[in-house]
């Protein structure tokens, strides 16, 4: 069974200020995505890496591959307008058997702990899928409608029933490809791979995540990431 990491990296990072997409911002003279790729390069459970990107991303990734010695990075493919399109483009370029595993991971989750990755792959090998999640730790409130400042009417959710969905999200290649093709045939876009798989009727099994595996989305996240990288967490 082969295990291939697919990294969608075609996003513009619109919620982060700057002239380049967030995955290519430099930290200690290294692009954010290079930290992400390092985890998969060094993992014993990963056989190959495919990245989907666009524009200047291709040249940057080729340079990173040479500089960092990323021997597992075999293909850099065209990204799409949406995350779903980028992942699907990578799936089409992957030379995998039906039961091989596709490990989809956000480029902007650059501090994925190796043990979280290894545990998720083990879960997927045993059960056929693995969705990395972290149990909610904070009290969680929600509003049915209206503005909290005006209504003061906040309701609460039992946090023991709430999971924060992360990546990687791991599925059998054949099943994931089939689920994507079904979604496209129906003109439907999901927010991530797990929603596409669930909609197609496939079970999704949970694997424990980590607070370190946060998605770098805002300027505040960039500050947190820069401090963690400086401390080499």
What's the distance, Cα to Cα, between the start and end of the chain in Å?
32
Q: What span, in angstroms and rounded, lies between the C-alpha atoms of 135 and 206? A: 10
Q: How far is CA 132 from CA 22, 68, 147, 175, 205, in A?
A: 23, 27, 32, 18, 9
For the chain, percent of residues with pLDDT exceeding 90: 82
Tokens of 48: 């190959």
Q: What is the DSSP letter of 93?
A: H
Q: How many CA atoms lie within 13 A of 214 on its CB side?
A: 13
156 pairs with which residues across the strands?
A: 141
User: What does the pLDDT look like over 166-181, one tens digit per residue?
Assistant: 999 999 999 999 999 9
User: What is the pTM (predicted TM-score) of this model?
Assistant: 0.93
Across residues 81-108, what is the average pLDDT? Answer: 97
Helix (H) / strand (E) element for 130: namely strand 129-135
**CATH 3.90.550.10 fits domain 3-134+163-230:** yes
Per-residue pLDDT tens over the stretch 113-149:
999 999 999 999 999 999 999 999 999 888 877 665 5
Nearest to 91, CA basis, from 184, 165, 20, 186: 184
pLDDT at 153 over 60: yes
């Amino acid at each position: 069974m082969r295990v291939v990491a697919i990294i969608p990296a075609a996003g513009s990072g619109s919620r982060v200020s700057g002239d380049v997409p967030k995955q290519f911002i430099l930290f200690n003279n290294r692009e954010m995505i290079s930290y992400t790729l390092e985890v998969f390069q060094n993992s014993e459970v990963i056989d190959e890496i495919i990245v989907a990107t666009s524009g200047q991303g291709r040249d940057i990734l080729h340079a990173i591959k040479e500089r960092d010695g990323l021997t597992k990075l075999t293909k850099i493919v065209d990204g799409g307008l949406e995350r779903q399109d980028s992942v699907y483009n990578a799936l089409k370029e992957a030379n995998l058997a039906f039961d091989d595993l596709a490990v989809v991971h956000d480029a902007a989750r650059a501090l994925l702990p190796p043990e979280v990755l290894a545990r998720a792959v083990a879960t997927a090998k045993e059960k056929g899928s693995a969705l990395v999640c972290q149990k909610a730790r904070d009290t969680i409130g929600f509003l049915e409608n209206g503005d909290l400042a005006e209504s003061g009417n906040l309701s609460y959710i039992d946090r023991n029933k709430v999971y924060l969905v992360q990546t990687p999200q791991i599925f059998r290649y054949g099943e994931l490809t089939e689920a994507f093709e079904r979604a496209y045939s129906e003109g439907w876009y999901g927010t991530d791979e797990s929603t596409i798989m669930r909609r197609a009727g496939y079970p999704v099994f949970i694997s424990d995540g980590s607070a370190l595996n946060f998605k770098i989305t805002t300027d505040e996240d960039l500050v947190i990431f820069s401090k963690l990288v400086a401390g080499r967490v």
